[in-house]
Chain A
Amino acid sequence: MNKRYWLVLLLFGAVLACSKKAAELPDKIFETFKRPSNFPEPAYHFNTNAITEAKFELGRKLFYEPRLSRNNTISCGSCHIQTAGFTHHGHDVSHGVDDRLGSRNSPAIMNLAWGKSFFWDGGVTDLDLQPIVPINNPVEMDESIDNIITKLKEHPQYPGLFKRAFGSEEIDTDRIMKALSQFMVMLVSANSKYDKVMRKENNEQFSEAEARGYALFKTSCAGCHKEPLFTDESYRDNGIGAGPNDDPGRHGVTRQEEDRYKFKVPSLRNTAYTAPYMHDGRFLNLDAVLEHYAELVKNTPNLDPLLKQGATPGIPLTTAQRSNLLAFLKTLNDEQFVRDPRFAETY
């Protein structure tokens, strides 16, 4: 009898030895990445970076970590503010370390799990390699990854957090980038009124103006701003003309003349939070954007063919049509996303 008792104990011990430290009951149940039913399959390589709560949380901490910059002043979240749809609201271009000015408008960080390329020029095609660019950029964070690794190793919390996420205290480029990617791919914005209408949630319906705007959108805008992400991720010259800094756009990556002044088509989601617009933030509001397309498109050498269909370049839009389009664009705002506490700095 005694011996049998021993055996049971031993067996129990064997099981315990293998299970990871039994987790304390979490306050909230962690929701991993979920594809919204009206979205396509994501593009991110989850097979090499499966989402876990510990990695996601480490990623969030790193996203808001000013130690990623040379003088510990600028974090990713400095120029990608949640309440601004993860852009730098009110800034045409952003200021980085020592208030040095960048040259492009901070893009919205959302639905990156579906992103096939990143930045206005699409120079990076693997999300894991994206953070290296702003970190190294002298006008953004002006820091080297090696220095960051040194700082994180000396930090009282990070070695433990890396151990919790990856199984050991080792901190390297791969782990930092994988954790940051986890936070970024989880930033899914798919709860706008548009999404609810498409998913037939709660019997949500477009108003008359929104429905007219949607119909017009489908014929006049969807050629570039493809649903449901509202970008086809192509590079196009939309006839705004070069700005004062003569940013060559996609040409900087491909060095092909036909790519000069082309920029990646941005999503139209969350525009209520992400002004100003365009790669250099030149349009302060959506009225100015629509005015551009209706009246001010320049016949530039690489102007997109979709903007050259009429007698004059652009998309003819009456006042009523603009107002309907604006009504539709408002249905793409996802308030839940910009208020989601899981994505906030102080969670």
Chain B
Amino acid sequence: MKRITTFSTFALLTMLSFASCKKDNDTIPPASDELVPLSIEFDNIVGGQNLQLNTGSYKNAAGEFFSVNILQYFISNISLKKADGTVYTIPQDSSYFLIRESDPATRFAKVKVPEGEYTSLTFVLGVDSLRHTMDLSQRKGVLDPAGGMEDGMYWGWTMGYIFFKLEGTSPSAPVDPAGIRKFRYHIGGYGSPSFNNIKTITIDLNAGGIAKARKGREANIHLMVDISKFFTGTETISIEQWPMVMLHEYSIKMADNYASMFRHDHTEN
């Protein structure tokens, strides 16, 4: 008997010593087993052509020829709506995606949603203002401000994410110091202390096919992102006149244009 007591005391103590060392991170796991995968595909095109970096040749609404070297943009704050009007918002921490044409894997924004049939998709092109001022510990992955200079998506000097970056060459662009006829558009601005170019985009899925999120399947909402719309819409943009636009008032007109680039093509259920 005594032996048993000693043994159980020993066991208890051992357990205690482990338990007391454990960090307090046993949070209740989110009910993710009720969620099913869903993807949103951002398929970049230019008018009637598939976008091909460096090699493709395109014409904008102003009649200027151009090629694209860099295309990347932030998609965030995704939510989906069912026919009955209920909305599921993806938890914000899992809702930031950087779509980069140079990396095919990034064309899919992969999220998890409750099972059901979704008739409408809403997302932000850019990064919300609140995330811009969050502690660095909450800004990892694609939001890491360390992104670098060439393909970076962050303006250090004004603490703003670049929402949309489009660079390329055009015979209409002036020769830059490196001897290249380049155009460069870096569009951002979260409203503080300058203007706000955050765009919320809602796309109806009824015509192209609603998304049926089911267990064991991964519905894919296939969007076409038409870069030719960046050059026209609210404002017809001339590369010759505007070869470089960054944190400039003219970017407001460009952002009005880029909000209309997205079109639902079909859904793979």
- Interface residues in B126-157 by Cβ distance below 8 A to A read 133, 135-137, 139-140, 144-149, 152, 154, 156-157
The answer to whether B13 and A10 have CB atoms under 8 Å apart is yes
Report if A10-B10 is in contact (Cβ < 8 Å); known contacts: A45-B135, A128-B135, A254-B194.
yes
- Interface residues in A7-21 by Cβ distance below 8 A to B read 7, 10-11, 13-14, 17-18
Q: Which residues of chain B are near A253, meaning CB under 8 Å?
A: 157-158, 193-194
The 0/1 profile, CB within 8 Å of A marked 1, for residues 208-245 of chain B is 00000000000000000000000000000000000000
The docked-state distance in angstroms from the alpha carbon of A129 to that of B154 is: 11
Apart from the given pairs A129-B145, A174-B140, 8 other A-B contacts in the complex at a CB distance below 8 Å? A48-B137, A128-B135, A132-B145, A136-B152, A145-B146, A173-B144, A253-B194, A255-B247
Q: By DSSP majority rule, is chain A's interface helix, strand, loop, or mixed?
A: helix
Contact partner of A18 (CB less than 8 A), chosen from B20, B133, B194, is B20
The answer to whether A173 and B148 have CB atoms under 8 Å apart is no
Contact partner of A17 (CB less than 8 A), chosen from B10, B17, B249, is B17
Identify the A interface with B (CB < 8 A): 3, 6-7, 10-11, 13-14, 17-18, 45, 48, 119, 121, 123-126, 128-129, 132-133, 136, 144-146, 149, 172-174, 177-178, 252-256
The docked-state distance in angstroms from the alpha carbon of A129 to that of B135 is: 9
Report if A172-B140 is in contact (Cβ < 8 Å); known contacts: A18-B21, A255-B194.
yes
Q: Which residues of chain A are near B20, meaning CB under 8 Å?
A: 14, 18
B248 beta carbon closer than 8 Å to chain A: yes
Least CB distance from A115 to B in Å reads 14
The docked-state distance in angstroms from the alpha carbon of A128 to that of B193 is: 18
The answer to whether A144 and B9 have CB atoms under 8 Å apart is no
Q: Which residues of chain A are near B53, meaning CB under 8 Å?
A: none
The docked-state distance in angstroms from the alpha carbon of A136 to that of B157 is: 10
23 A-B pairs within 8 Å (CB atoms) are namely A7-B9, A10-B13, A10-B17, A18-B21, A45-B135, A48-B137, A119-B157, A123-B158, A124-B157, A124-B158, A124-B159, A132-B156, A144-B146, A144-B148, A144-B149, A145-B145, A172-B146, A173-B145, A173-B146, A174-B140, A252-B157, A253-B157, A255-B195
The docked-state distance in angstroms from the alpha carbon of A7 to that of B5 is: 12
The answer to whether A146 and B136 have CB atoms under 8 Å apart is no
B175 beta carbon closer than 8 Å to chain A: no
Q: Which residues of chain A are near B10, meaning CB under 8 Å?
A: 6, 10
Least CB distance from A164 to B in Å reads 18
Least CB distance from B107 to A in Å reads 23
The answer to whether A254 and B157 have CB atoms under 8 Å apart is no
Least CB distance from B251 to A in Å reads 10
The answer to whether B144 and A172 have CB atoms under 8 Å apart is yes
B16 beta carbon closer than 8 Å to chain A: yes
The answer to whether B249 and A146 have CB atoms under 8 Å apart is no
The answer to whether A126 and B13 have CB atoms under 8 Å apart is no
Q: Which residues of chain B are near A129, meaning CB under 8 Å?
A: 136, 145, 156, 159
**Listed residue (B16, B136, B152) with the most chain A CB atoms within 10 angstroms of its CB:** B136
B27 beta carbon closer than 8 Å to chain A: no
Minimum CB distance partner of A17 in chain B = B17
Least CB distance from A155 to B in Å reads 18
Q: Which residues of chain B are near A45, meaning CB under 8 Å?
A: 135
Minimum CB distance partner of A11 in chain B = B13
Report if A136-B16 is in contact (Cβ < 8 Å); known contacts: A119-B157, A253-B158.
no
Q: Which residues of chain B are near A146, meaning CB under 8 Å?
A: 146-148
The docked-state distance in angstroms from the alpha carbon of A172 to that of B146 is: 9
**Listed residue (B6, B146, B148) with the most chain A CB atoms within 10 angstroms of its CB:** B146
The docked-state distance in angstroms from the alpha carbon of A303 to that of B195 is: 24
The docked-state distance in angstroms from the alpha carbon of A346 to that of B247 is: 41
Q: Which residues of chain B are near A121, meaning CB under 8 Å?
A: 157
Minimum CB distance partner of A125 in chain B = B159
Report if A254-B149 is in contact (Cβ < 8 Å); known contacts: A17-B17, A119-B157.
no
Contact partner of A255 (CB less than 8 A), chosen from B21, B146, B152, B249, is B249
Q: Which residues of chain B are near A48, meaning CB under 8 Å?
A: 135, 137
